[in-house]
Amino acid sequence: MNRTLTKPLADDLVRPLFHTSVWFYAIVLTAGTVVACGAAAWAFQVWNGIGVAGIRWPVFWGFYLVNFVFWIGISHAGTLISAILRLVDAQWRRPVTRCAEVITVFALMIGAMFPIIHLGRPWLAFWLFPYPSSREIWPNFRSPLAWDFFAINTYLTGSVLFLFLPMIPDLALVRDRSTGWRRRVYGFLAFGWRGTTTQWNRLESAMQIMAVAIIPVAVSVHTIVSFDFSMATVPMWHSTIFGPYFVAGAIFSGIAALIIAMAVLRKTLRLEAYLQPIHFENLGKLLLLMSLLWAYFVFAERLTVWYGNEPSEMAVFWATQRGEYAVFYWTMVVCNFVIPLPILGIRRLRTITGCVIASLGVLVGMWLERFLIIVPSLAHKQLPYSWGTYEPRPVELTIMAATFAAMILLYALFSKFVPIISIWEMRAGDRPATPSATGDHS
Amino acid sequence: MAYRWGMAVDLDRCTGCEACVTACHAENNIPTVGAGQAARGRAMHWIRVERYYEGDFPDVRVKFRPVLCQHCDAAPCEAVCPTYASHQSEDGLNAQVYNRCIGTRYCGNACMYNVRFFNFFNPEWEKPLNLQLNPDVSIRSVGVMEKCTFCVQRIKAAKVLIKSENRDLKDGELQPACAQACPTTALVFGDLNDPESRVARLSHSPRGTKLLEDLGAEPKVTYLQKQAWYEPDAH
């Protein structure tokens, strides 16, 4: 196999690293300001007490936990999709994988902050870590929050490796094209990559191992996040369907985030030649599949609750179906199902614009889904006397806005310092060593 | 033999006067948060009197139900705490170690009785109200959960006393503040492991039920009330 990188392709894809447009500074400055506001809001909350947020008795979990589940869900974009596409050797994956894997790493970093942000005493968060202390106290391994800690850390470690391994040849390429301090930094990150056959073989085996290993980890992560809810005897939380329901929802929102990120990259970095309509078309089909799967889960969940007619569950059921949360519920159904279905189902509408519109809807819908799982149940527990309500306060909204800005900021910085499309994989795709078993996808 | 603290609440005796609520606040240094914060769901009452109305006006009956921590044997709040701040004591109390609590509030969500309360801010007492604080009870800081302890400070003091006098605890000698303040003796506290204690006998009364018993948390508080089959107009 000829792995030599031809000039034009590599030139095109490393261009953003050496030429900075004014837009880059504008985006970094704007997003950075919002992130700074979020940091200030959190400092304000730590200083004054968590009471500045809207959480209350009996809705002890609010926007912070909604955003936690949302971002951990988004993180299923990358590693999982990219691992599956690698394993089935789908040729069209090549320009998509790195965009996806980056989303995973950054969404996990953002999502994992929320369990700390929402703590009453975040300065003691290290008590969740299993470390040998003089008091010989370990975390409570029966607590789903302790399971969360291990699941998220495993997934973060795995997805960082999964992102980094296929970056090594590209980092070496950037190293060879740069001088001065850049050469030293990229040289360090490239781990002495020379492109020998031994190195290629090792890289390929390592990536195969990671691709297989990361799939069960990704599935377990969102299952365990769902266990935070389903382990408690709270109405409509205590459900056996939650594991697969959350995993499906996570992949659903992850694909939507990936489509939006790709559309933005395509415009801002002028990658039209690489991120082609076919990639959006294929991801759009995947999104359609997940939309149908999501609707099936919601139907199965709602029907069994309604048919079972258990009083405490029916209180939550009706609150979401036609009560105070009905407007959010039906918006969710429209965003997750009614809008995406025709756009993604009709070939003529499944364009880049169509896919982006559907994806934006899915992001809104999936965020609302997490809100509708967490808040109405806590507000309608078994004793009607203690029913309550919840509304977010400015500090929660600021921190939420800051996480979206943080995603944009991290993504902009990453695509500035690392080729966002895997150059060597694009090259390898041009001259496959063996004919693809699944035929020509591109 | 180890103690196993429990309570019987006679709903037929409860008049809804809320003396128990006031006594609990005074005994346990529970802060009052003010009208604004109370409207935002930050009020803390380790024991509360729930009011339920039956019938249509003018033929209305109101029913009172004092609800406090049920000190469940299979407490859902304990399993979910990642730091063991919420745990079962040797005497069967659902203890909360304030110093160990990091404020995930998971216990409050898992508790089906909603009897756990969170310190959203550091508590404050306007002068001279700070002088009436009970020196036997620690003040809870911002970010920790708190809840009914069955007045564990009184339990500890009674244990020290009987040990120094080398005798057993007499039934009724030890009372939490709520039971002590109840003018109709609707609240009866004692050792469930002593079959002769009043609370043990009342817990086996045919009038007794447990709150949300079918959820399987095995609460140690028994509610007594005239059962439906005694009622002439029972449906």
Is residue A14 in a domain? yes
Give the per-residue pLDDT at B147: 97
- The label of the residue with tokens 């030293």 reads A184
Distance CA A152, CA A218 (A): 9
H or E element: which one contains A370?
helix A352-379
Contact check, Cβ <8 Å, A120/B81: no
> Is-contact B151 B7, C-beta < 8 A?
no
Distances (CA, A) of B80 to A242, B76, B97, B108, B169: 18, 7, 14, 10, 34
Cβ atoms A158, A179 nearer than 8 A:
no
Cα A223 from Cα A246, distance rounded (Å): 6
Please answer yes or no on whether A382 and B105 come within 8 Å at the CB atom. Answer: no
Tokens of A169: 């040849």
DSSP at B186: -
- Which parts of chain A sit beneath pLDDT 50? 1-5, 432-442
Give the tens place of pLDDT for each residue, A111-140. 999 999 999 999 999 999 999 888 888 999
The residues, any chain, with a CB within 8 Å of residue A357's CB and separated by 6 or more, are A339, A343
CA atoms within 13 A on the CB side of B151: 24
How close does chain A come to B66, measured CA to CA in Å?
Answer: 11
- Domain harbouring A386, CATH code: 1.20.1630.10
Mean pLDDT in residue range B158-178: 95
Rounded to the nearest integer, the mean pLDDT of chain B is 93
Beta carbons of B104 and A120 less than 8 Å apart? yes
Using the predicted structure, report yes or no on whether residue B184 has a pLDDT greater than 60.
yes
pLDDT at position A423 is: 86
Q: Which residues of B touch A121 (CB under 8 A)?
A: 101-103, 141-144
> Which CATH code is given to the segment(s) B5-228?
3.30.70.20
**A133 lies in some domain:** no
Considering CB atoms only, which of A48, A57, A122 is closest to B114? Answer: A57
In a domain, A128, yes or no: no
Residues of A in contact with B106 (CB under 8 A): 60, 143-145, 228, 232
Name the residue of chain B whose CA is nearest to A237's CA: B110
Of all helices (H) and strands (E), which one includes residue A228?
helix A197-230
pLDDT, tens digit (0-9, with 9 covering 90-100), for A47-99: 999 999 999 999 999 999 999 999 999 998 777 888 888 888 888 888 899 99
For chain B, domain boundaries: 5-228
Quick check: B102 and A125 CB within 8 A? yes
**pLDDT band for position B11 (50/70/90)?**
very high
Answer yes or no: is A437 within a domain.
no
CB B13 within 8 A of CB B223: no
Which residues, in sequence order, are CB contacts of B95 under 8 Å at separation 6+?
A: B86, B87, B88, B89, B149, B152
CB contact under 8 A, B212 and A146: no
Report which DSSP code applies to A386: G
Q: Residues A212, A87: contact at Cβ < 8 Å?
A: yes
CB-nearest to B82 from A55, A146, A382 is A146
Per-residue confidence (pLDDT) for residue B232, from 0 to 100: 57
Q: How far apart are CA B228 and CA A252, in angstroms?
A: 51
Digit-coded pLDDT (tens) for B53-112: 888 888 998 899 999 999 999 999 999 999 999 999 999 999 999 999 999 999 999 999
Cα distance between residue B83 and residue A210, in whole Å:
33
ipTM reported for the complex surpasses 0.85: yes
How far apart are the C-alpha atoms of A284 and A287, rounded to whole Å?
5
DSSP state, A335? I
**Structural domains counted in chain A:** 1
Q: What's residue A178's pLDDT? A: 87
The predicted pLDDT at position B1 comes to: 64
Identify the sign of the CA torsion B63, B68, B71, B76. positive
Between CA A174 and CA A189 the distance in angstroms is: 10
Cα(A395)–Cα(A53) distance, rounded to whole angstroms? Answer: 6
Task: Please give the helix or strand (H or E) that residue A117 lies within, else none.
Answer: helix A114-117
What the block records as the tokens of B202 is 């009342």
pLDDT(B29) > 90: yes
Number of CB atoms found within 10 A of residue A57's CB: 21
* pLDDT on residue A437: 41
Q: pLDDT per residue over B187-234, tens digit each?
A: 999 999 999 999 999 999 999 999 999 999 999 999 999 876 655 554
User: By residue range, what is the domain housing residue A278?
Assistant: 7-123+140-430
Q: Give me the DSSP letters along A301-324.
A: HHHHHHHHT-HHHHHHHHHHHTST
Backbone phi, psi, residue B183, to 5°: -70, -20
User: Please, is A143 exposed, middle or buried when counting C-beta atoms within 10 Å of its C-beta (0-12, 13-18, 19+)?
Assistant: buried
pLDDT at B228: 64
